[in-house]
Copies of this chain bind each other. A is one copy, B any other.
Amino acid sequence: MTSPARKISVVPDLPSVEVSDDLALDLYYWMTLTRAVEERALNLYRQGKLPGSYYTGRGQEAIAVGIALPLVRGEDGDWLSPWIRDLGSYLVHGVPVWRIFAQFMGKAGSTTRGKDGNLHIGGREWNIPCQVSHMADMIPLTVGAALAYKQRGEKRVAVTSFGDAATSRGDFHEGLNIAAVLEVPAVFVAENNGWGYSTPISKQTKVTDLHRKAAAYGIPAVSVDGNDVFAVYAALKASVDAAREGGGPQFVECKTYRMGGHAAHDKYESYMPMEVLAEWSDKDPIKRAEAILLEEREITEARLESIRERARDEVRQAVEQAEDDGYPDAAEAHQGVFAETAD
């Protein structure tokens, strides 16, 4: 049924990686699910059903999914600390869809029991620490997790992703430098989408090829087309493998474009060039994957449609479950400042 695995070689520096048709369809499924969740959530937000702000990673699904699929899931698996554009990473790494809707809605079933919102999703069961708003803060934490694995001799890796603007922060620098010196199994993924809120990358840094920044730490780095899910997957797989096998920290830059506002309320039309947006729209990662699956892999349209259908179903059920879920009790606000036990 599936054709033989294909070797994907994104960059000469990395070994090539096999992507079977099953895996290719998996990548497609997760991207499709990610977009379906986000589209539905955006509707809910517009209906006033989601408190707080709403961020989407539309157009960056290849990165979100490609980062997470090479990783081992579960509490004893790999640490994954995704950026706010990476809903797909949370999904792939194990967070149930309905809990993500519950999170957006601030319901009791939220991974934070309503205490935090939007993509601040996490839980020990998935080995996803809950990101903080402060950009780049999660980088040193990820280095610390990788250190723990190295100290205990476990073959686990710790992965984190962040936007281009986060590379301006001191914690990016301190984290990467320490990771390099301690030679820990950490993988850093920079999502270069050209913007940090209303600020273009040219005002963020003079070195807009972010993988070049890794050289300052002696960390091997590659740059890939972030709208090509196979390329992202292959780069991550190779980097994660290298880190897992004792190769020390790795850096992957994914080049892409922010396909809209910083958040749903952002009037990006006033500052983003529409023609560039249109160009990137043609590079949509899901459309591109579809073309490859249909044309190069000779997967049938019917099969793709069944995958899309599955994703839509899951979203429907998840939204229902989240809507049925209650809000936390007010008493919850007082709980959990301190841990009773660490285990």
Measuring CB to CB, which residues of chain A are less than 8 angstroms from any residue of chain B?
168-174, 177-178, 180-181, 203-207, 212-213, 215-219
| Also in contact, A207 and B203, with CB within 8 A (given A169-B174, A171-B170, A174-B168) | no
- In Å, the complex CA distance between A11 and B180 comes to 29
* B212 touching A217, Cβ below 8 Å: no
Of the residues B172, B178, B180, B204, contact of A173 by C-beta under 8 Å: B172
Of the residues B169, B177, B216, B219, contact of A212 by C-beta under 8 Å: B216
Q: Which residues of B contact A172 (CB under 8 A)?
A: 173
25 examples of A-B residue contacts, CB within 8 angstroms: A168-B174, A168-B177, A168-B178, A169-B173, A169-B174, A170-B170, A170-B171, A170-B174, A173-B173, A173-B174, A177-B205, A177-B206, A180-B205, A180-B206, A181-B204, A181-B206, A205-B217, A205-B218, A206-B219, A207-B216, A207-B217, A212-B215, A213-B216, A215-B215, A216-B216
Of the residues B169, B181, B205, B206, contact of A170 by C-beta under 8 Å: B169
Task: With A177-B205, A181-B203, A207-B216 given, name 13 new contacts (CB 8 A).
Answer: A168-B174, A168-B178, A170-B170, A170-B171, A180-B205, A181-B204, A181-B205, A206-B217, A206-B218, A207-B218, A213-B216, A215-B216, A216-B216
Which residue of B is nearest A178, CB measured?
B168
Q: Which residues of B contact A174 (CB under 8 A)?
A: 168-170, 173
- In Å, the complex CA distance between A281 and B36 comes to 69
Q: Quote the shortest CB–CB distance from A197 to chain B (angstroms).
A: 15
- In Å, the complex CA distance between A213 and B215 comes to 8
Q: Which residues of B contact A171 (CB under 8 A)?
A: 170
Q: Which residues of B contact A218 (CB under 8 A)?
A: 205-207
Which residue of B is nearest A214, CB measured?
B216
- In Å, the complex CA distance between A115 and B203 comes to 40
Which residue of B is nearest A182, CB measured?
B203
